[in-house]
Structure 1
């Protein structure tokens, strides 16, 4: 394994391993300052990693972009490059939950102590959360624009964590669904009785409860009697007290 540099009148080409054209850029656009570190792309797909490397170099990032097929390739040539700043691990259609991928993410996080950024074809919420659980600092779907990828890289280098917007929205829907189905009193009361109990604990009068629930006041009274019987309470005040004692978490819900 070797890294060589070939110079011509107008191009500079970096070769990693036996791949030809491992990355190229116009020498007229090269930065003159020293790179802040190496941004290492790990992707077994030759075309994929070099296309990504080319796109990142075109954005003139203050890093040396090094494309490798495996992390072992980086280990063999790292002495020729700036210290590693972040790792872009491209897993394609694989999932973070797969044993080989999980082991790789965990190993990279432990070995380098630098942000590990997962690039994947899938943006399902469970896969995103699994990658973060393993220690990754970002999960980027390959469907995003390269500028979004760069923003994610910058965010992780600043100490942040990047989630794709699609996954954030999926998480929000999951939370809202859970909130809609959150009924801790469902084992004791019917749905309508729960609504009456909720109104009682807020001190609402029977007429108000009837109006808000679109019920007759006589029906509300029947519900209250049934609730009192279930709680062995003698009045509506005792109902509210016992409910608050039994379901304190429901007060803030």
Structure 2
């Protein structure tokens, strides 16, 4: 690899370090390497000092991976997917302004479909996090995350999970919950019933609804009966109250 490689070397036990012990350890190292090839974490960060500091910090905290550092996504595009076990992409805030980085993350995920990609960025708005996760990234770290949090995120991604910082998790769960709720709501009514409901929520009478939608008054009455039944309401006022609660948007 053209990137800079780092690997933690255990300190020797000088009390037992002799020629025979060294030979035994060397033989064990060779055997274990053949059984389980060393996995590699690719760190992509345009800031030289930051990426070197992060790689050494992860090594010293016993992550158990080799480190390969790169300055840009382009630097790793020529490698085979087997070259990396996980990719950590560190992004500056300015990259999110024109959405280019989100598209780049999507391309990176498609280029290495079996390699989990984790993104670290100072900007932690919900839209940025959701955009990154929707592109297939397996984690989103805030820029001030400590080494232990990075280790946790990388370990979770390697285990097949998705990591999101605790301070963002509740908001994300709320948004996904609302989307499921919205999907259920859309399935509950027909397209025409949705049109009737849009006018009904304005407090309009059946004749006004019929005129606005170009329907016969009797047709509107049929739709109204179906809507009342679906929301389990006995009259228009109760129906409007329940529908408004059902259609309530996230603030």
CA distance in 1, matches of 2:91, 2:160: 23
Give the aligned length.
180
Shift of residue 241, structure 1, vs aligned partner: 2.3
Residue-by-residue CA offset, 1:202-237 (whole Å, 9 max, x unaligned): xxxxxxxxxxxxxxxxxxxxxxxxxxxxx9xxxxxx
Structure number with higher helix proportion: 2
Pairing of 1:11-50 with structure 2 (within 5 A): 16=3, 22=4, 27-29=9-11, 32=29, 33-34=32-33, 35-50=37-52
Deviations 1:88-107 (A, max 9, x none): 11102235463431232011
Shift of 1:41: 0.4
Pick closer, same or farther for the CA change 1:26–1:103 going to 2, 3 Å: closer
RMSD over aligned CA atoms reads: 4.0
**Secondary structure of residue in 1 paired with 2:58:** helix
When structure 1 is superposed on structure 2, of 134-143 and 89-98 the one drifting more is: 89-98
Q: More strand by proportion, 1 or 2?
A: 1
CA contact (8 A) 1:119 1:141 kept: yes
Q: Which residue of 1 aligns with 2:219?
A: none
C-alpha distance 94-156 of structure 1, shift in aligned 2 (>3 A): farther
Q: Gapped runs of 5+ residues in structure 1?
A: 4-15, 17-21, 190-230, 232-238
Q: How much does 1:24 deviate? A: 5.5
Q: Pick 1 or 2: higher relative contact order, CA cutoff 8 A, min separation 6.
A: 2
> Normalising to structure 2: TM-score of the pair?
0.57
CA distance in 1, matches of 2:138, 2:52: 23
CA contact (8 A) 2:7 2:65 kept: no
Cα distance, 1:50–1:82 mapped onto 2, change above 3 Å: farther
Contact 1:93 1:120 survives alignment (8 Å):
yes
In structure 2, runs of 5+ residues without a counterpart are: 13-24, 182-197, 205-223, 225-231
2:108 match: 108
